[in-house]
Structures are given as C-alpha cells and as structure tokens.
Structure 1
Amino acid sequence: MSYQDVFVIFWKQVNESAQEGRFAKLTMAKTIGKPNLRNIFVRPVYSEDGFKVLLKLRYRSLETEDQEDELTLDEAFVVLKSHLITSFSSVLLFTTTKDVTFKINKKGAGSITESAPTFSDATPVKRDADWW
C-alpha cells in the first residue's frame, strides 16, 4: 500500500483521538538528509472555535526563525502531508491510550505500529505557553 493511503488511515486515528479527547501531541521526526527543518510539533490548544492545534516548525539554523500557526486538524493535515518523503519519513502520534507511529520505508511503502502510551493526559496548552 502506498504511503499516501497509509497516511490517510493514520490520520483517521489522529482525528479520532482529538474527537475523544485523547490527543496529546504529534511529532514529525526522522528527517531525510539534512534539511534545515528539524522537527514539526503539533499540540492541542485552547480555542473558542472548537478543537484547534498549534503547529510549530522548528529549524536547525539559528538564522531561520521557528514558525507557529494555530490550525484546524484538516489544515494541519495539509501541512504535514506536504513534508512527507521530502523532509520526514515518520510521524508519531501520542495519545493517552496508545502511541501510534507512521513510517515510510525506502521503497515508499507506509506502515503503522502501535505501542504503550507515553502521555497519561491530554491537556491543551495555552497559546502563550512554552510547551516545546
């Protein structure tokens, strides 16, 4: 199965965890090569407009300022999907019930694995909080 199809399945688990209040954090790691973009972090954030996430792009270079955006999950999906294969080969979803890892192998196939949860609660952060 192509990594794009598997990522859609993975993203359904992200949506379910958010709807059920179990979403704690999501991280894109395992860079491909040495891109300036080092990590992408996604955390739930307090919002009057429903469930939102704070997406942070962290860069290696001190000259490049990290970027933060408050987005819906659908908007975050578009950003994360655009960095698959080009910058990152894995995405880790941390929930209060399990950790889910999406990986792309060298042949371009995607896989999903699950493990015990890292986080015991999913407390949304305040926008001005330093949660990185």
Structure 2
Amino acid sequence: MNYQDVFIEFWELVKQSIEDRTFAKLTMAKTIGKPELKNIFLRPIYDKDDFRVMLKYSFRPRETEDIEEEIALEEALIILKAHLKTSFLSVILFSTTKDVAFKVNKKGIGSITESSPTFKNVMQA
C-alpha cells in the first residue's frame, strides 16, 4: 500500500488521540540525508472549546534558532505532508495509551507499528 493511504490511517489515529485527550507529542524523524532541519515536533494545546498545536522546527546547527508557532491541526497536517518523504521518513505519535510509528520505506510503501507508551501524562506546550 502506498505511503499516502497509510498516512491517512495514521492521521486518523492522531485525531482519535486528540479526541481522547491522550495526545502527548508528535515527532517527524529519520531525516533524508543531512539537512539543517533535524526534527519537527507538535505539542498539544488543549482549550475548553479548541485544540491547537505548538509546531516546532528544530535545526541541526546550534547557531540556528528553533522556530515555534501555534497553529491549527489542519495547518499542521499540510506541513507534515509537505515534509514527508522529502525531508523525513517517519512520524511518531506519542500518546498516553500507546506510541504509533508511521514509516515510509525506500520503495514508497508506508507502514504503521504500535508500541507501549513513552509518556504517562499529557504536557501541554
């Protein structure tokens, strides 16, 4: 199955963790080559009526300052899709119930694996 279809399944798990209020963090990792952009992180910002995320771009050279911005989840999805398979080969959802890893292999095939949770509590941005 191509990675775009599998990513849609993964994104549904992300949205479910947000609904369940178990979403702790999301990380794009496994860079392609040696780019300056090292990671992209999403941290939750739960509000009574709204959910937003703190998007953080983390850079490899220490001289380059990280960039953070508060955005809607839909905007984050667009950013993640733009970096998937161009800059990063994996996205990891950390929730308080399980960790879910989405990976793209060299042939462009996506996969999802689940493991025990890394986080016990949700820490907002």
Q: TM-score, normalised by structure 1?
A: 0.89
Structure 1 segment 54-73 matched on structure 2, within 5 A: 54-73=54-73
- Offset of 1:55 from its aligned partner? 0.6
SS at match of 2:120: coil
**Are residues 1:20 and 2:9 paired?**
no
Partner of 1:130: none
- Offset of 1:65 from its aligned partner? 2.6
- Offset of 1:71 from its aligned partner? 1.1
Cα offsets for 1:65-94 (capped at 9, x unmatched)? 321111111111110110011110000000
- Offset of 1:49 from its aligned partner? 5.5
- Structure 1 stretches of 5 or more lacking a match? 126-132
Number of equivalences: 125
Partner of 2:4: 4
Distance 1:42 1:113 in 2: 19
- Structure 2 stretches of 5 or more lacking a match? none
- Offset of 1:63 from its aligned partner? 4.2
SS at match of 2:97: coil
Q: TM-score, normalised by structure 2?
A: 0.94
SS at match of 1:45: strand
- Compute the RMSD of aligned alpha carbons: 1.3
